[in-house]
């Protein structure tokens, strides 16, 4: 996905490109030759490979952006406030209303809350308004050739070639983020292969230009990640003075009565509501001294599987509360 939690590649590849462009291009072409052979063995047509690799070069901007993810460079209040703007909330309410019938049909099939689908859609691509302008093949090839997660991106590159070969999207339209995340849901290619849905029934899984396919694909992702129908994602809580923050973290699930005994209450000061299952206390900005805390459940964990960041999952939850 667009925010797959990737760390920094650093500037090694950029320095290489700047200092020895001819040698770098030769190395890149050798890399592409290896990918071409592997893709052919996997059944990708020669015509698809010729088209995909025509004139391909490493992209320095991809390497630069790969080391600069907002989850790692912003404080929690900065990250939260930038993404919960009045404009994003108002556009989310409008998107929810305009797509209500489709969202309700998706909910009947996948048993996932429409409001969280809309929130992810809004956070990933501003409700489909901007899906990225990088050539996906070029971005993935750059990261697979130079990046520290070469094996990960090589697998994604091969999946992207299979998607093109299957005709789900045209070459010119296959654009996305600098990390190769695609379409309105910002799926990585392997996620597309596993989880994208043809909800409009036209025979193509078009997460770029078909809203039903894009929104249903988000729902399918969450459903397959353990979404619990009818359960909230979480809510803000107030922690008692002296609360041991070592008890916090999405992995530390406990029955709500345990948290109540420790003095955790709703942000309003009211007692915790009766809840089933186990819940965790998450403090997104803990590492930088921000103490805003949330009690989160299984559906928070499902959102985290979309993007493994507490910043991201919490903002999706908060936005979902506001769009409907």
Residue 288, pLDDT score = 86
Q: Which residue has the higher pLDDT, 10 or 215?
A: 215
User: For 274-295, how does the pLDDT look when each residue is reduced to its tens digit (9 = 90+)?
Assistant: 999 999 999 999 988 889 999 9
Residue that the structure tokens 């025509």 belong to = 54
Q: Which residues, listed in sequence order, are joined to residue 134 by a DSSP beta bridge?
A: 176
Q: How many CA atoms lie within 13 A of 277 on its CB side?
A: 13
Residue 1, pLDDT score = 53
Q: Which of 8-17, 86-95, 207-216, 279-288 has the lowest mean pLDDT?
A: 8-17
Rg (the chain; Cα; Å): 21
Asked whether residue 155 carries a pLDDT value surpassing 90, the answer given is: yes
C-alpha span between 225 and 125 (Å, rounded): 21
Report the predicted TM-score, pTM, of the whole model to 2 decimal places: 0.90
C-alpha span between 218 and 104 (Å, rounded): 14
Contact partners, residue 47, CB within 8 Å, separation at least 6: none
Alpha-carbon 61 to chain mean position: 20
Q: Which of 18-27, 55-64, 168-177 has the lowest mean pLDDT?
A: 18-27
Residues 146, 15 contacting (CB under 8 angstroms): no
pLDDT band at 11 (very low <50, low <70, confident <90, very high): very low
Percent of the chain with pLDDT over 90: 85
Alpha-carbon 263 to chain mean position: 34
The residue-averaged pLDDT of 241-258 equals 96
Residue that the structure tokens 């048993």 belong to = 111
pLDDT band at 3 (very low <50, low <70, confident <90, very high): very low
The residue-averaged pLDDT of 64-91 equals 87
Q: Calculate the CA dihedral of residues 243, 245, 246, 249 and round it to 10 degrees.
A: 130
Contact partners, residue 265, CB within 8 Å, separation at least 6: 237, 238, 240, 271, 272
């Amino acid at each position: 996905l667009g925010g797959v939690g990737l760390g920094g590649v650093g500037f090694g590849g950029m320095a290489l490109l700047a200092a020895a462009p001819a040698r770098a291009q030769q190395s890149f072409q050798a890399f592409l030759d290896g990918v071409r052979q592997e893709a052919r063995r996997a059944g990708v047509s020669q015509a698809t490979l010729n088209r995909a690799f025509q004139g391909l070069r490493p992209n320095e901007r991809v390497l630069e952006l790969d080391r600069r993810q907002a989850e790692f460079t912003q404080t929690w209040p900065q990250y939260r406030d930038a993404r919960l703007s009045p404009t994003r909330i108002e556009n989310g309410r409008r998107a929810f209303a305009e797509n209500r019938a489709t969202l309700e049909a998706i909910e009947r099939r996948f048993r996932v809350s429409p409001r969280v689908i809309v929130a992810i859609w809004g956070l990933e691509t501003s409700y489909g308004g901007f899906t990225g302008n990088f050539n996906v093949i070029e971005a993935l090839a750059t990261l697979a050739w130079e990046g520290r997660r070469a094996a990960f991106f090589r697998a994604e590159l091969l999946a992207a070639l299979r998607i093109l070969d299957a005709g789900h999207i045209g070459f010119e339209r296959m654009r996305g983020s600098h990390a190769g995340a695609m379409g309105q849901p910002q799926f990585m290619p392997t996620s597309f292969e596993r989880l994208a849905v043809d909800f409009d029934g036209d025979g193509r899984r078009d997460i770029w230009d078909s809203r039903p396919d894009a929104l249903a694909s988000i729902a399918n992702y969450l459903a397959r990640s353990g979404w619990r129908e009818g359960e909230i994602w979480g809510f803000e809580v107030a922690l008692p003075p002296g609360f041991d923050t070592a008890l916090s973290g999405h992995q530390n699930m406990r029955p709500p009565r345990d948290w109540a005994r420790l003095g955790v209450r709703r942000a309003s000061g009211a007692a915790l509501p009766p809840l089933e299952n186990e819940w965790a206390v998450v403090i997104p900005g803990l590492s930088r001294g921000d103490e805003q805390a949330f009690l989160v459940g299984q559906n928070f964990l499902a959102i985290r599987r979309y993007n493994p960041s507490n910043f991201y999952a919490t903002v999706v939850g908060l936005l979902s509360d506001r769009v409907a």
